[in-house]
Amino acid sequence: MNSNPADPLDGRIVAMALGDMATRFSLEVIEHCASTSSVLLDRAMPDQASGSVVVCERQTAGRGRRGRSWLSAPGDSLTFSMLWRFPPGMLPPAGLSLAVGVAAARALEGMGAAGVRLKWPNDILADGAKLGGILVETVAHGGQHVAVIGIGINVRLPREIAEAVDAEAGALVSVMPYAPSRNLLLANLLKALGEMLDEFGRSGFAGFVEEWLARNAHAGARVSILAEGADPIEGRCAGVDIDGALLLDTATGVRRIVSGEVSLRPR
């Protein structure tokens, strides 16, 4: 794979950087696909091992929430997905998308990224600009919840992406002292995801609330919650609940906003 000769995706380098944790993941590097999450979701679920990872150089139809697109550029972006099985009988993994945000922030900060913030429910920001997106899709199989966790990161930001998106986009290189290797970035993100998922399996999102709040991009800010076909809900961002719901301080009291169909916008 040599789409960017300076920094080609290479499974062997990722495995070396993972060290002892390499055995937890089965990594497949592919040149192009519509969406790494779709690749994992389309495969026969019962046969797909926990820790299966697909990373792709040219993702042509990356997905965000509610049919939105995630744009990426060969060599400049990191786009990958990981499949994870939760123990049979475990409740649906509420708040997983936010816990993934905490794991991603830990990994980016560990590599020297400054000012990483999380925007409820699933964006990674720095300096007010979106440099990463998270999409968690969950399916149930025979009493077991299977999550496909998709992450897209702008390592660098080509002008065509900056101009195509409706909110301000950012890039990792702008908040790091050096341009990170995408292989090392992937290894660090996988390590952080593995550690987070162990913790999440024991106590759910509750154990991540404090860390999420410490990076809340809109802590205490006045925000609007937008939903299609409904009036915006205005309030002050008062934190998140142990299931990942946003706590919105409104004129009529604190309301719980559940993600999925709504978007948060600063006022």
Whether 117 is catalytic: no
Q: Which residues sit opposite 82 in a β-bridge?
A: 53, 149
Task: Give the dihedral sign, CA 258/259/261/264.
Answer: positive
The correct pick among 130, 145, 215, 218 for binding ligand ATP (CB under 6 A) is 130
Stretch of 13-21, 26-34, 158-166, 175-183 contacting ligand ATP, by CB under 6 A: 158-166
Peptide bond between residue 121 and the one before it cis (omega within 30 degrees of 0): yes
Whether 65 is catalytic: yes
The correct pick among 30, 41, 45, 64 for binding ligand ATP (CB under 6 A) is 64
In angstroms, rounded to a whole number, what is the distance separating the alpha carbons of residues 96 and 76? 27
| Tokens 């077991």, located at residue | 144
Interacting residues of 158 by C-beta distance below 8 A, sequence separation 6+: 73, 76
In angstroms, rounded to a whole number, what is the distance separating the alpha carbons of residues 67 and 69? 7
Whether 265 is catalytic: yes
The closest residue (CB) to ligand ATP is 64
Residue 160-179 contact track with ligand ATP, rule CB under 6 A, x = bound: -x---xxx-x----------
Nearer to ligand ATP, 25 or 70 (CB): 70
Q: Is 65 one of the binding residues for ligand ATP (CB under 6 A)?
A: yes
Q: Is 191 one of the binding residues for ligand ATP (CB under 6 A)?
A: no
- From the candidates 65, 106, 119, 182, give the one annotated as an active-site residue: 65
CA atoms in the 13 A half-sphere facing the CB of 42:
8
Residues in touch with ligand ATP (CB under 6 A): 64-65, 68-72, 122-123, 130, 133, 154, 161, 165-167, 169, 263
Catalytic residues: 65, 130, 265
